[in-house]
Amino acid sequence: MRRLLLDTDTAGDDTIAILMALRARDAVLEGITINCGNVDFEQQVENALYTVQVAGRSGKVPVYPGSTHPLLKEWRTAKEVHGNDGMGGSYFPKAKQRPETTHAVDAIVDTINSNPGEIDLVEIAPMTNLAIAIRKDPGIVKKVRRFYFMGGSNQYLGNVTPAAEFNIWVDPDAARIVFESGLPATMVGWEICMRRGFLGARELDRIEAMGTGESKFFLAVNREVRRFTKRTYGLDGTECTDSLTMSMVLNPRVASDVRKKFVEVDSTDGPSRGATVVDERGVLGKKPNVDVVYEASQKLFREMLYRTLSGGPV
């Protein structure tokens, strides 16, 4: 049985990644840690708790609040993408389960130390919690089984700036610490998410036709994202970045072309701040530190997503 620890800025597709992990047949979600990112911090915590409830697992999966600000930069949210509540303006009622009092950083350090070699760490948010955890106890790096993250881009295709993707851009200083730590990392960048994690009107109609609690939840939390995507990219649909990443965690065959590269984060204040600079041709001669996903199976991903939304096991 795989064992996952998930760090999230719960809004929009983060919720679907959580649902998918909670439906996994051969993985257990040990805990959820919250990092500043998409919307107001307390709202993100509530969104995670509510999602656990939607999955019928209330009280079974601890939710640990963590960093409320990036290490050095000012925090800018993505409310314009996900709506003020991060759930497409649904304003769901408060979940029954309440957050833990243990800080996310301590939860990360303790969970990894108590289960050396066992934990797959999944990051679908800015990396502040993780960077502080690594600074607090650098020994955890060698005890993580694998570190998967949604963030960055291998082709300088950003979504916040021309060069930077949101998760890295919010806290590039933290991301730099994580990239340089030696964690065995797999990167799922914005570019591959847009190419293989995008759902168009036809797919969304299919989800609507399912008529399950989960499918209604999916459409509600992604309502604002759909409007934003139309406004910004002229496309009718929603991008599933975090759930595409989770599908690769649960089924490595989803990532069909993965290449080892040296990747560096630009944490300076110039125009490419927050960019992940992938040494494509190895010109720097440095040891690769990241497995970069270049291609993914849209078919396998969608099958897993549809199974999640139909309430079945994944």
Residues at the contact surface with ligand BDR, assessed by CB under 6 A: 12-14, 38, 78, 81, 124, 150, 159, 165-167, 190, 241-242
SS3 233: helix
**Interacting residues with Ca ion between 76 and 135 (CB under 5 A):** 124-125
Mark 23-47 as b/e (b = at least 16 C-beta within 10 Å).
Answer: bbeebebbbbbbbbbbbbbebbbbb
What's the farthest any 2 CA atoms get from each other in the chain?
53
Task: Mark the segment that binds Ca ion (CB under 5 A) among 99-107, 170-178, 239-247, 305-313.
Answer: 239-247
Mark 80-108 as b/e (b = at least 16 C-beta within 10 Å).
Answer: ebbbbbbbbebebeebebebbeebbbbbb
The residue among 240 and 262 lying less far from Ca ion, judged by its C-beta, is 240
Closest approach, Cβ 190 to ligand BDR, in A, equals 6
SS3 276: strand
Other CB atoms within 10 A of residue 186 CB: 21
The answer to whether 14 contacts Ca ion (rule: CB under 5 A) is yes
Residue 215 binds: one of ligand BDR, Ca ion, none (C-beta under 5 to 8 A by kind): none
Residue 159 binds: one of Ca ion, ligand BDR, none (C-beta under 5 to 8 A by kind): ligand BDR
The residue among 106 and 175 lying less far from ligand BDR, judged by its C-beta, is 175
Q: Is 9 a catalytic residue?
A: yes
Q: Which of left, alpha, beta for 245 (phi over 0: left; psi -120 to 50: alpha)?
A: alpha
Residue 12 binds: one of Ca ion, ligand BDR, none (C-beta under 5 to 8 A by kind): ligand BDR
Residue 78 binds: one of Ca ion, ligand BDR, none (C-beta under 5 to 8 A by kind): ligand BDR
The answer to whether 296 contacts Ca ion (rule: CB under 5 A) is no
The residue among 97 and 276 lying less far from ligand BDR, judged by its C-beta, is 276
Closest approach, Cβ 193 to ligand BDR, in A, equals 7
- Reported residue count of the chain is 314
Task: Give the DSSP per-residue string, 123-141.
Answer: EES-SHHHHHHHHH-GGGG
